[in-house]
Amino acid sequence: MDLVLNNIPFLLKGAYYTLQITLVSMVFGFFIALIVAIARLKGNRLFRGLAQGYVSIIRGTPILVQIFIVYYGLPDYGIKFGPLTAAYISLSINIGAYLSETFRGAILSVSKGQTEAALSLGLTPWQTMRKVVLPQAARVAIPPMGNTFIGMLKETSLVSVVTVTELLRSAQLLMAQYYVAMPFYIAIALMYWVMSMIFSNILDRIERKLSKAY
């Protein structure tokens, strides 16, 4: 236990990188997902096909393989990223595919009557989407989006394979230094759990506020 307490600052630094990777990936993944969802619902045949192909490929392949492709595969073609950038890119692309299905389902849950009413009042299709459809779809999307967010928080541990010193990698370095594993595994498990619970509570509050608003 003393080993863990003495190395808490090092583990907290790893937790900081875990949170940073999660938040950055979720932000970029959010915009990717929104574009893909709208493309699948409102785009022409080409855009629908491209969006559907993207979702199918990303959801049908392991995230670890995607990380390897971005970090180890792309340099074969002269495209090289640092470990942290590769983590951002691969996780953003992955989360974008999963969130796009969440957004698509949420948008479809809004009745067509409301869309028709907004258009009849003179709103453009984009204004209708932005002012009528998306606010209501957000209320439906928040719960599954929260689950995806927490899942991504835990999946950041996979970027340790490309030497990003997030929480798991930090613990591995300490294990190699002290030749002991269990205390550090327990410590990081608790840290992941605490972070997950904090975000769950935040998302629950957001969901309640949206429920009251609509």
CA angle, 78 then 91 then 159, to 5°: 80
What pLDDT, on the 0 to 100 scale, is given for residue 36? Answer: 94
Contact 119, 129 (CB under 8 A): no
Q: Is the pLDDT of residue 210 over 70?
A: no
What's the average model confidence in pLDDT over 192-203?
89
| b/e sequence 86-107, b meaning 16+ C-beta within 10 Å | bbbbbbbbbbbbbbbbbbbebb
Q: What is the pTM of this model?
A: 0.86
Residue 4 has pLDDT above 90, yes or no: no
The tokens for 173 are: 């370095």
pLDDT one-digit tens code per residue, 26-82: 999 999 998 999 898 887 889 999 999 999 999 999 999 999 999 999 999 999 999
pLDDT tens across 118-127, in order?
Answer: 777 777 777 7
Q: Identify the CATH class of 2-213.
A: mainly alpha
**pLDDT at 211 (0 to 100):** 66
Residue-level pLDDT at 213 = 57
The tokens 């009745």 sit on which residue? Answer: 111
Quick check: helix, strand or coil at residue 89?
Answer: helix
Above 80 in pLDDT, residue 165?
A: yes
Q: Check if the beta carbon of residue 117 is closer than 8 Å to that of residue 128.
A: no
Q: Tell me, what's the pLDDT at 41?
A: 85
**Cα 196 vs. chain centroid, distance in angstroms?**
13
Q: Write down the pLDDT at residue 13.
A: 93
Q: Say what the pLDDT of residue 180 is.
A: 92
User: What is the DSSP annotation of 25-73?
Assistant: HHHHHHHHHHHHHHHHHHS-HHHHHHHHHHHHHHHTS-HHHHHHIIIII
Rounded to whole angstroms, the Cα distance separating 94 from 99 reads 9
